Structure 1
Amino acid sequence: MYNEEEASDIVGEYCTLLEDYKGYTTGEVVGDYGCQLVVKVTSGAEITVYRDEVILLK
């Protein structure tokens, strides 16, 4: 499912999903795989999204 995880300074950052996931729109970046990110939404589910599908909250 994932390629090599890249070293990234955005892991641990909070974000907003541009399209909700089962009603949830906020989460935390837990993995960076280049053009895709793994986001843990507030429900606890981990989902894979493309970078352009999230807005980072710094």
Structure 2
Amino acid sequence: MYEYEESTEIIGSYCSLVVPYRGCSDGTVVGDYGIELVIRLTNGKEIVVYRDEVIIYD
């Protein structure tokens, strides 16, 4: 499915999706796979998105 997860400083950061997923746009970064991120939304759903589809807050 994915190659290798990278251990980066953005894991655990809050983020917002540029285009909401089924009405939910806020979440937390839980995985970093290079150009793709795994995001856990506030409704509990985990989705895979490209880096340019997410705004990451410090």
Question: 1:5 maps to which residue?
Answer: 5
Segments of structure 1 that go 5 or more residues without pairing to the other structure are: none
Aligned to 1:52, what secondary structure does the other structure show? helix
* 2-structure distance, mates of 1:37, 1:31: 6
| RMSD (Å) for aligned C-alpha atoms | 0.6
Count, aligned residues: 58
Q: TM-score, normalised by structure 1?
A: 0.96
Q: What amino acid does structure 2 have at the position aligned with 1:32?
A: D
Q: TM-score scaled to structure 2, two decimals?
A: 0.96
